[in-house]
């Protein structure tokens, strides 16, 4: 009956800052098929799942903080290049919580967007020889 998660929506208060983070830093590509809802926002596609950013100047991230706490509410995006992601985050001086070894079978990296929305990126663990490349 349930096929998967269609989309995750996040409240953002400043679209310019959000676009810089999601597109300028992370490199996400906006979905040009987003309807004109009468309020600003953007959609991003990841396979069969979408991320919707909805501008609400009075909105707040449900967390109410930008602390990097992996036990707090978040969503996860699977990535194919964890070392490349870390390099990008370092280049743009984005704070992150790196968890290469944890109780899951994957490498986890946590970041917050400008509104404090917590995002987990995860991917295959690199062997010692692969991580030196």
Give the CATH number of the domain where residue 77 resides: 3.10.180.10
Domain contains 131: no
Question: What pLDDT, on a 0 to 100 scale, did the predictor assign at position 84?
Answer: 95
pTM for the whole structure: 0.84
Q: How much is the mean pLDDT over the chain?
A: 89
Question: What pLDDT, on a 0 to 100 scale, did the predictor assign at position 61?
Answer: 67
Domain contains 96: yes
Question: What pLDDT, on a 0 to 100 scale, did the predictor assign at position 68?
Answer: 87
More confident residue, 83 or 73: 83
Q: What is the tens place of the pLDDT at every residue in 61-81?
A: 667 778 888 878 889 999 999
Q: How many percent of the chain have pLDDT more than 90? A: 69
Confidence of residue 57 (pLDDT cuts 50, 70, 90): confident
Query: Is residue 130 predicted with pLDDT exceeding 70?
Result: no
Domain contains 95: yes
Q: How far is the CA of 78 from the CAs of 15, 32, 40, 57, 108, in angstroms? A: 24, 22, 27, 29, 9
Q: Tokens 């994957």, residue?
A: 106
Query: Is residue 56 predicted with pLDDT exceeding 90?
Result: no
Instruction: Count how many domains the chain has.
Output: 1
10: closest CA among 125, 116, 101? 116
Domain contains 114: yes
In the 3-class helix/strand/coil scheme, how is the chain assigned residue by residue? CCCCCCEEEEEECCHHHHHHHHHHHCCCCECCCCCCCCCCEEEEEECCEEEEEEECCCCCCCCCCCCCCCCCCCEEEECCCHHHHHHHHHHCCCCCEEECCCCCCCEEEEEECCCCCEEEEEECCCCHHHHCC
Domain contains 133: no
Q: In angstroms, rounded to a whole number, what is the distance separating the alpha carbons of residues 109 and 90?
A: 12
Q: What is the tens place of the pLDDT at every residue in 86-129?
A: 999 999 999 999 999 999 999 999 999 998 999 999 999 874 33
Domain contains 132: no
Range of the domain at 15: 7-124
Domain contains 64: yes
How confident is the model over 18-47, as a mean pLDDT?
A: 95
């Amino acid at each position: 009956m349930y096929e998967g998660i269609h989309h995750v929506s996040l409240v953002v208060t400043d679209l310019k800052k959000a676009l810089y983070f999601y597109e300028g830093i992370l490199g996400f590509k906006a979905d040009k098929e987003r309807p004109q809802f009468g309020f600003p926002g953007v959609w991003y596609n990841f396979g069969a799942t979408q991320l919707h950013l909805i501008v609400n100047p009075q909105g707040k991230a449900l967390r109410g903080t930008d602390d990097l706490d992996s036990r707090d509410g978040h969503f996860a995006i699977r990535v194919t290049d964890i070392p490349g992601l870390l390099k990008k985050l370092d280049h743009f001086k984005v704070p992150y919580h790196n968890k290469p070894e944890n109780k899951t079978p994957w490498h986890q990296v946590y970041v917050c967007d400008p509104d404090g929305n917590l995002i987990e990126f995860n991917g295959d663990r690199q062997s010692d020889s692969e991580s030196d490349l």
